Structure 1
Amino acid sequence: MQSKHKKRICIVARSLSEGGADRVAAMQSIFLSDLGYDVYIITILNSIGYPFKGKLFNLGAIKEQNDTVYGRFNRFLLFKNFLSSNNIDVVIDHRVRSKRFSEYMISGLIYPKSTIYVVHNFTIELYFPPNQFLTKYFYKKVKSIVSVSNGIEKKVGELYKFKNLKTIYNPIDFEYIDRLKVKSTEPLSHYIFWYGRFEEKQKNLSLLIDAYSKSQLPSKNIKLILMGDGKDKTLIHDKIVNLELSDFVEIKPFSENPFKYINASKFTVLTSEFEGFPMTVLESLACGIPVISVEYKNFEDGVVDNEYNGLLVENHNPEVLANAFNRFINDEKLYLRCKANAKKSLASFSVEKISKEWQILIDN
């Protein structure tokens, strides 16, 4: 369905690689382009990995050349001029927005009134500058504040009392995933899989390593593969070495195609402290691979249905998580039931359905 109005949309993202929010922004550029909008993309970091459509303005590449005070001021002007010179109608901002001064400058001096702020995480403090009075003043005027789950929208509403709130879930492009998941990987033994950013405070990878070490998986020669990059990658590597798991746990760099690794895995794991609406879970289930997830903050609004398409266990308990690993390995009937239900449990998250919700919001 083509848009009746060829509006000019600018998507603003941290980057186009690694994180779930980045993947959503890249995917959004594609389906909005396919709907007939003129799409522009601004990235704050020079990290482009996911496929996208539209005219890209890579502020990160400019930042790498000059990150002085003058360089930051110059990027601010370039940001403003880009939106103005391209006559942008609607801005969709996927970034974390917690810096007080710069975010109020962007809201007040750069963005048009037709701005949509997206909140990707249950830790909503990451998406709103800390001064509540100024945040309410600037953000209540924008076109919409979109949360990626009902739980997040409820939390934002309770704290800020905004009226311009809406929930639009993250979409899944089944056709794209089906095409990529069958591409061959290098020969690997049996393994379970985690991928994302190595950020211990949120992703709680120490819990995953501890649970794996306590499970039966190493003795059954079922490996754990971790994929991604991030500031705590060395910390996790050192923990693997200290637990003498180097022969069983492998760290791989970020890949533009994690789906081929998901597809070849036994199951994927999520051990986060908090999430919004985690893309890694959606992508795993879309590949037909069940998920073992801890009960992170806001897990009730997620898609893992215990013993239907995966397992849900209490957080912060490596023994309980290890037992869940063992159940999926030893109880074939349970595992095959969850595997059979994985993909069909995502019927309501197709990119066709979600893109129409965005079109209605943009054209309203």
Structure 2
Amino acid sequence: MQSKHKKRICIVSRSLSEGGADRVAAMQSIFLHNLGYEVYIVTVLNSIKYPFKGTLFNLGEIKEKNDSVSGRFNRLLLFRKFLKTHNIDVVIDHRVRIKSLSECIISGFIYGRNVIYMVHNYTIERYFPSIKWFTELFYKKAFKIVAVSKGIETLIKEKYGFTNITTIYNPIDIDYINNLKSENIAITSPFVFWYGRFEEKQKHLSLLLEAYKKSDLVKYATKLVLMGDGKDKDFIIEKINALQLENSVVVLPFSTNPFAYINASKFTVLSSRYEGFPMTVLESMTCGVPVVSVKYKNYEYGIIKDGFNGLLVDNNPDSFSNAMNRFFEDENLYQNCKLNTLKSIEPYLVASISRKWEVLLDSI
């Protein structure tokens, strides 16, 4: 379709394959394209699994051929040339940004002034280089810093004093999920479900395993299914074996369609120490499935309401396991939470969130 907007938008992402930020970047490319913007995408890694729209420049393919110092410098030059060749009006950067030297080059030499820096996680230090004067120099001049929750926005204001910041929540595409959630899956026994990156520091999967071990779910013949990939996957498998849960816990590889597993599960679980605005919660409720979650840092700004659409409990194995048991022991509570899931996601539907992005982009 012919663009009705003059602006050319470049979305920059680590990849389009794993984690909530990648999913949001891919989804953003689709709704911005559908709104009529001319969309370009730059990925740092060669991993493309989520559907997207726009012109893709995969720097990861080039990286795999030459990741030497000169190769890295060449990629930066190619990145700059790509933005200039396509006359990019606005860059939306979803990456983690911690390396001061690299970010100095990218912010000062490659990007223009119309940059929107996304912050997807409550650990905001992952999105701002450690040298504070550098962060203040470049990020206060950005067109906008966009946080995915009010808690993150407040934290950034307190630490850096930035005024060019706003919150736009992650969107959910209910039609896309509905088209995938009814696919057949290999597991036939009852189960509860977790999916994401195997990263112990944030996701705290050892807590989930300990809570599951303490719970009555094995008595109820209900397995725990974990889906994903990540640097701590071997550690998690060792933990499963140490707890003698190898017959009760199923570990599956990453899939672009976790929705069929969500849809078939009794409920989903979240054991994180901290989160931004977790897509797994939105996606679970879009499937009509409630969530049992610990109170992670920033949970106050999430959408789980204890006893309404899920359960929120203290971050310890006993509280977590008791909450899992409650959804088996109290059918009225479970059905009430299940009933309220879909109405909980209404403010986050893609039509509403895309309009907020349209207003922001058209104000540049």
The amino acid across from 2:123 in the alignment is T
- Between 1:177-186 and 1:286-295, the stretch displaced more is 177-186
For 1:232, the equivalent position in structure 2 comes to 232
For 1:352, the equivalent position in structure 2 comes to 351
Task: Please say if residues 4 and 37 of structure 2, whose CA atoms lie closer than 8 Å, have aligned partners that are also in contact.
Answer: no
Task: Please say if residues 173 and 350 of structure 1, whose CA atoms lie closer than 8 Å, have aligned partners that are also in contact.
Answer: yes
For 2:177, the equivalent position in structure 1 comes to 177
Task: Please say if residues 3 and 359 of structure 1, whose CA atoms lie closer than 8 Å, have aligned partners that are also in contact.
Answer: no
The amino acid across from 2:125 in the alignment is E
Distance in 1 (alpha carbons) for counterparts of 2:44 and 2:274:
24
CA shift digits 1:196-235 (9 cap, x unpaired)? 0000000000000000011001122100000000000000
What displacement does 1:268 show?
0.3
The amino acid across from 1:318 in the alignment is P
* Equivalent position SS for 2:354: helix
Distance in 1 (alpha carbons) for counterparts of 2:182 and 2:3:
33
* Equivalent position SS for 1:193: strand
* Equivalent position SS for 2:106: helix
Distance in 2 (alpha carbons) for counterparts of 1:264 and 1:221:
15
For 2:272, the equivalent position in structure 1 comes to 272
For 1:139, the equivalent position in structure 2 comes to 139
- Check if 1:219 corresponds to 2:219: yes
CA shift digits 1:62-118 (9 cap, x unpaired)? 111111111111111111111111110000000000111100110000011111000
Listed as ranges, the gaps of 5+ residues in structure 2 are none
Tell me the TM-score normalized by structure 1.
0.98
Listed as ranges, the gaps of 5+ residues in structure 1 are none
Distance in 2 (alpha carbons) for counterparts of 1:166 and 1:182:
36
Distance in 2 (alpha carbons) for counterparts of 1:61 and 1:311:
43
What displacement does 1:186 show?
2.0
CA shift digits 1:11-66 (9 cap, x unpaired)? 00011012000000000000000000110001111111110001111111111111
The alignment yields a C-alpha RMSD, in angstroms, of: 1.0
Task: Please say if residues 24 and 171 of structure 1, whose CA atoms lie closer than 8 Å, have aligned partners that are also in contact.
Answer: yes
Distance in 2 (alpha carbons) for counterparts of 1:3 and 1:142:
25
Runs of 4+ in 1 over 4 A off after TM superposition: none
The amino acid across from 1:245 in the alignment is L
Distance in 2 (alpha carbons) for counterparts of 1:279 and 1:6:
31
For 1:36, the equivalent position in structure 2 comes to 36
The amino acid across from 1:307 in the alignment is G
What displacement does 1:144 show?
0.3
The amino acid across from 2:317 in the alignment is P
The amino acid across from 1:170 in the alignment is N
- Check if 1:363 corresponds to 2:362: yes
* Equivalent position SS for 2:184: coil
Where does 1:14-93 land on structure 2 (aligned, <5 Å)?
14-93=14-93
Task: Please say if residues 96 and 127 of structure 2, whose CA atoms lie closer than 8 Å, have aligned partners that are also in contact.
Answer: yes
The amino acid across from 2:126 in the alignment is L
Task: Please say if residues 90 and 114 of structure 1, whose CA atoms lie closer than 8 Å, have aligned partners that are also in contact.
Answer: yes
Question: Matched residue pairs, number?
Answer: 362
Distance in 2 (alpha carbons) for counterparts of 1:212 and 1:259:
22
Task: Please say if residues 12 and 42 of structure 1, whose CA atoms lie closer than 8 Å, have aligned partners that are also in contact.
Answer: yes
The amino acid across from 2:96 in the alignment is V
The amino acid across from 1:238 in the alignment is E
What displacement does 1:134 show?
1.3
Distance in 2 (alpha carbons) for counterparts of 1:359 and 1:220:
48
Task: Please say if residues 194 and 227 of structure 1, whose CA atoms lie closer than 8 Å, have aligned partners that are also in contact.
Answer: yes
Task: Please say if residues 3 and 38 of structure 2, whose CA atoms lie closer than 8 Å, have aligned partners that are also in contact.
Answer: no
Distance in 1 (alpha carbons) for counterparts of 2:4 and 2:130:
39
Task: Please say if residues 262 and 284 of structure 2, whose CA atoms lie closer than 8 Å, have aligned partners that are also in contact.
Answer: yes
For 1:295, the equivalent position in structure 2 comes to 295
CA shift digits 1:158-208 (9 cap, x unpaired)? 111111111000001111111111122124210000000000000000000
For 1:243, the equivalent position in structure 2 comes to 243
* Equivalent position SS for 1:179: helix
For 2:160, the equivalent position in structure 1 comes to 160
* Equivalent position SS for 1:272: coil
For 1:321, the equivalent position in structure 2 comes to 320
The amino acid across from 1:237 in the alignment is I
Distance in 2 (alpha carbons) for counterparts of 1:314 and 1:98:
31
Question: Kindly, what percent of the aligned residue pairs are identical?
Answer: 63
CA shift digits 1:258-307 (9 cap, x unpaired)? 10000000000010011000000010011100000110001000000000
Distance in 1 (alpha carbons) for counterparts of 2:187 and 2:210:
26
The amino acid across from 1:279 in the alignment is M
Distance in 1 (alpha carbons) for counterparts of 2:187 and 2:275:
32
For 1:284, the equivalent position in structure 2 comes to 284
Distance in 2 (alpha carbons) for counterparts of 1:187 and 1:130:
45
